[in-house]
Structure 1
Amino acid sequence: MLLKLANLNINNFVSQTLIEGPGKRFAVWFQGCSIGCRNCSNQEMLSFEKRMFLPVSLLIEKIKESKEKFGILGLTILGGEPFLQPDGLLELVEETKKLGLNIIIFSGFLYENLEKQFFEILAHIDLLIDGPFISSKLDKNRRLIGSTNQRIIKISDCFENEDYFEKPVWEVDIHINNSIATVNGDGSILDDADGKNIFNIEKNK
């Protein structure tokens, strides 16, 4: 049996979320992006500094635990830019598929370009949100889709009759651990009229 030794530099992951795609899901955010979309909502994930450098095998164990404990149905991969770490990404999607889970990836690259170079990865995923975020084309009609140029590409028939992303819904998950709050989803609903974040958490003394 081939021993796989890929590692990934990630920013964060959550073991269960209801707002990064249809059904209860495991979500992982990759660290590092070179596309340079203006007004990117994940500024902290753009640099290529090491944040959480993990072997894929450890992430797979976490995903497996989440399936057993929470009954997750799929994995959503975001960033940063996932396809800039292709070796680790390929191993992650291959091993996740073996667990019987569906896979969604958000990428700033176009499907036509990814298809030429990363067809092996695409062969293992079910849905791709592609294209760079263009702030002048802000999308207010689709859930989790940043701008109107970005496409929802259903690679397999897993989501053939699913309109989750086509709905105009804005929501967030807030995970609190030891007074540290992690927010995922559309964080703009927590901003005031000037775009300043108005959410905070205080620990009772």
Structure 2
Amino acid sequence: MKVDNVGNVHSIETFGAFDGPGVRYIVFLQGCPFKCQFCHNRDTWSTRTNKLMSVDEIFNDFSKYKSFYKTGGITVSGGEPLLQLPFLIELFKKFKSEGIHTCIDTSAACYNVRENDKFKELMKYTDLVLLDIKQINDEKHKVLVGSSNKKVLDFAKFLDELGVKVNTRHVLVPGVNDDLDDLITLRKFLDTLNNIVKIDVLGYHSKGQIKWEQMGLTYPLDGVREATKDDVKIAENILKSGFKYMQE
């Protein structure tokens, strides 16, 4: 069994409805270099081996439920899926050979321009990228995530150059990344891209806090209120109103 043919899997969801079009088979990979304060999958950060699965094992498991995915497909999330780039290439190559829609849910934490050939190879087999842009202000991004947003924005530009379809996602956290000036700056950045097919504003919720506590960790956003519908509407008005894809 080739190393590239094996992934470190955290878990699998066989009936996902929010991570790409249609009903999705979602593979959550283990490991993430970002340290997002609002992460609801805190147990996926570690790169220690959880469950090793081959491409064929995942495909065979997918095939058990294939009838559910006629208008959907496979989404690979995490953790950070790009952390296991060689495996992801092999996985998507297999699924695309069977005519199955492929989607990556990523924060682009592992994007490296020096590996562009590998990323271009992956994009040959990728139908859609769900790209999380957590904070457009780099200094605030460093506080929220633990590192710069440069890789995230560079990856967005890279995908635009390749013409890969992108659904951007912004988790809106009251008092943390909902500053109006920052949202306007984010909109200006999105306006420079021509491959955006959808923009989602996801209201922050604290349901992931229990995972932190179960791991004996202090939840960084303890006490921060959840986003309301009005909060989301304000952000959507800035990020989505009159956007190019909505005018087609």
Q: TM (normalized to structure 2)?
A: 0.54
Q: TM (normalized to structure 1)?
A: 0.63
Three-state SS of the structure 2 residue aligned to 1:87 is: helix
Is the CA contact (8 Å cut-off) linking 2:23 and 2:71 kept in structure 1?
yes
1:52-201 superposed matches below 5 A: 52-68=51-67, 71=70, 73-109=72-108, 113=113, 115-130=116-131, 133-134=134-135, 145-146=170-171, 163=198, 166=199, 188=205, 190=207, 194=223
Aligned to 2:20: 21
Change (3 A) 1:103 1:134: same
Q: Distance in 1 between matches of 2:41 and 2:98?
A: 29
Change (3 A) 1:101 1:143: same
- The structure with the largest alpha-carbon Rg is 2
Q: Distance in 2 between matches of 1:84 and 1:102?
A: 21
Change (3 A) 1:131 1:145: closer
Change (3 A) 1:112 1:123: farther
The one-letter code matched in structure 2 to 1:122 is M
Q: Distance in 2 between matches of 1:154 and 1:19?
A: 23
CA RMSD of aligned residues (A): 3.8
| Higher helix fraction (1 or 2) | 2
Shift of 1:169: 6.7
**Cα offsets for 1:83-118 (capped at 9, x unmatched):** 111221111101111221111112222778464542
Aligned pairs, number: 168
Which consecutive unaligned segments of at least 5 residues does structure 1 have?
171-185, 197-205
Three-state SS of the structure 1 residue aligned to 2:19 is: coil
Q: Distance in 1 between matches of 2:135 and 2:42?
A: 15
Q: Distance in 2 between matches of 1:97 and 1:90?
A: 10
The one-letter code matched in structure 2 to 1:127 is L
Q: In the alignment, is residue 40 of structure 1 matched against residue 39 of structure 2? A: yes
Three-state SS of the structure 2 residue aligned to 1:33 is: coil
Change (3 A) 1:91 1:41: same
Shift of 1:191: 7.8
Q: Distance in 1 between matches of 2:35 and 2:207?
A: 24
Three-state SS of the structure 2 residue aligned to 1:118 is: helix
Is the CA contact (8 Å cut-off) linking 2:76 and 2:105 kept in structure 1?
yes
> What percent identity do the matched residue pairs reach?
22
